[in-house]
């Protein structure tokens, strides 16, 4: 899964620590999400997207394609 957290965080002019403070998580959590070492829980993903005024699928991009049944 690809994420755009760093892009939007930097666009807002926030450090990892500032984003973490706003979300009520640790800076290490933000770093792990940004470096694809941790996929956030659904509640955290929803809070992150809401903070940036985005839909979750705009912030977290899943390139998985469902197999079609014929």
Give the model confidence (pLDDT) of 23-56 as tens digits: 999 999 999 999 999 999 999 999 999 999 999 9
pLDDT at 16: 98
Question: Is CATH 1.20.1250.20 the classification given to domain 2-61?
Answer: no
What average pLDDT does the segment 11-15 reach?
98
pLDDT at 65: 85
pLDDT at 58: 94
Q: Supply the pTM of this predicted model.
A: 0.87
Q: Side-chain half-sphere of 32: how many Cα atoms within 13 Å? A: 11
CB atoms within 10 A of CB 38: 14
pLDDT at 45: 97
| Radius of gyration of the chain measured on its C-alpha atoms | 13
Q: What's the mean pLDDT when you consider all of the chain?
A: 95
Q: Are 36 and 6 in contact (CB under 8 A)?
A: no
């Amino acid at each position: 899964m690809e994420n755009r957290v760093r892009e939007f965080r930097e666009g807002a002019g926030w450090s990892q620590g500032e984003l973490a403070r706003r979300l009520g998580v640790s800076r290490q959590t933000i770093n792990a999400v940004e470096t694809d070492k941790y996929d956030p829980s659904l509640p955290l993903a929803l809070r992150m997207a809401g903070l940036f005024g985005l839909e979750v699928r705009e912030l977290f991009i899943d390139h998985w394609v469902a197999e079609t049944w014929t």
